Amino acid sequence: MRYLTAGESHGPQLTTIIEGLPSLLPITAEQINYDLKRRQGGHGRGRRMQIEKDTVEIVGGVRHGKTLGSPVALVVKNDDWKHWTKIMGIEPLPEDVDPSEIKRQISRPRPGHADLVGGIKYGHRDLRNVLERSSARETTVRVAVGSVAKALLKELGISIVGHVTEIYGIKADTSKVAGKSADEIRQIVENDPCYSVDPEASAKMVEAIDEAKKAGDSIGGVVEVIVEGMPPGVGSYVHYDRKLDGKLAQAMLSINAFKGVEFGIGFEMARRRGSEVHDEIVWDDKQGYHRRTNRLGGLEGGMSTGMPIIVRGVMKPIPTLYKPLESVDIETKEPFKASVERSDACAVPAASVVAECVIAWEIAKAIVEQFHSDQLPQLKAQIEEARKLAKEF
């Protein structure tokens, strides 16, 4: 199972093609649009979210609400394109137009962004050619893809939820939702301005975001994704590139501005002894094999254990600042304040939705690769059989 995306931030549209989905999977634009709307929400978002009202068009691979087994094509139009048709036009420029006269050219790279290195790599003197693709706008269609993956996981009895655990050092008390299911956590998160499970911490997060915005600055944070209902043994220990935790880590770090990832209690393991880290194995008639604790985050030896998978990612503050840092103009080599584009003071809440979707994709992909998956009914039967075999082992 794989997908590709195409499109620029201010181009006409964002496009993705998904290959390898089972046939007979129910998919609607409505369920994808729900996740697209969540991505545009969360406290701290900028003016771009007021301009774009992201909705998806399913233009291939689905008939009468179900997948055909052929590639699924999704399109999200950019409403702002009408204001950028000359600047971001597809057709060659007329001979009497000097490229240097095109508006919105950028020669001042932003520290922390792809601008300078991307320009060097691809030979772009106008750094807009870099930022248009490196922009987090691309995550719009990755959320659409992840929404499709979540639909598949739901059919297999697997639930997933993302939420914000920290912004600018303000930490949510996640013990407040201890013992709650992923679906119960979602009900709390989706009614919170920062997509947090802790209303008191969320109120402080809102204040911190507003203060950063007033100062022309930005702040980052930490998001957590929880996956419940996984059958044991998804992934593998036999090769490095088949380890499920490795795939999930790569997915999390592929999100724009993410710089760290951890599972279970994560880096806290470095401060504990082995007896305080590893999860003891127990068995009973109802659950079969399970763990007394879940400090390893539902993963051992590169495979799912059947316990909830818990993965967190850290997002740095967005590098586009209204109080820009010093940079160098690539044309004059003179020091300047970096260019300013529309930006968010904090995109951590929105990033929790992106994280939820990219993790959903990797989980779904790992399952499809491991089990026969041409048709959804066959896949569901195999997953149930795998759960039964694990319990009776």
Is 109 within any annotated ligand binding site? Answer: no
Is 171 within any annotated ligand binding site? Answer: no
Is 92 within any annotated ligand binding site? Answer: no
Is 39 within any annotated ligand binding site? Answer: yes
pLDDT digits (tens), the chain, 393 positions:
999 999 999 999 999 999 999 999 999 999 999 999 999 999 976 655 556 689 999 999 999 999 999 999 999 999 989 989 989 999 888 888 777 777 788 898 989 999 999 999 999 999 999 999 999 999 999 999 999 999 999 999 999 999 999 999 999 999 999 999 999 999 999 999 999 999 999 999 999 999 999 988 899 999 999 999 999 999 999 999 999 999 999 999 999 999 999 999 999 999 999 999 999 999 999 999 999 999 999 999 999 999 999 999 999 998 877 777 899 999 999 998 766 665 788 999 999 999 999 999 999 999 999 999 899 999 999 999 999 999 999
Is 305 within any annotated ligand binding site? Answer: no
Cα separation, 341 vs 110, in Å, equals: 10
Is 128 within any annotated ligand binding site? Answer: no
Is 134 within any annotated ligand binding site? Answer: yes
| Number of other residues whose CB lies within 10 A of the CB of residue 330 | 18
Q: pTM value?
A: 0.95
Q: Does residue 158 contact residue 200 with C-beta atoms inside 8 Å?
A: no
Helices marked H in the chain: 29-39, 48-51, 115-122, 128-134, 139-155, 182-189, 199-214, 244-253, 348-370, 376-392
| Spatial CA neighbour of 110 closest among 320, 255, 256 | 320
Which pair of structure tokens corresponds to residue 14? 């964002």
The full set of domain ranges for the chain reads 2-392
Is 316 within any annotated ligand binding site? Answer: yes
Which residues are bridge partners to 235 per DSSP? 303
The pLDDT value recorded for residue 48 is: 55
Cα separation, 316 vs 168, in Å, equals: 10
| Spatial CA neighbour of 22 closest among 367, 374, 378, 380 | 374
Helices marked H in 40-159: 48-51, 115-122, 128-134, 139-155
Which pair of structure tokens corresponds to residue 248? 């999930």
Is 254 within any annotated ligand binding site? Answer: no
Is 16 within any annotated ligand binding site? Answer: no
The pLDDT value recorded for residue 342 is: 59
Is 318 within any annotated ligand binding site? Answer: yes
What is the full DSSP assignment across 13-59?
Answer: EEEEEEE-PPBT-B--HHHHHHHHHHHT-STT--THHHH----EEEE
Which residues are bridge partners to 76 per DSSP? 14, 56
The pLDDT value recorded for residue 377 is: 97
Q: CATH number of the domain at 2-392, please?
A: 3.60.150.10
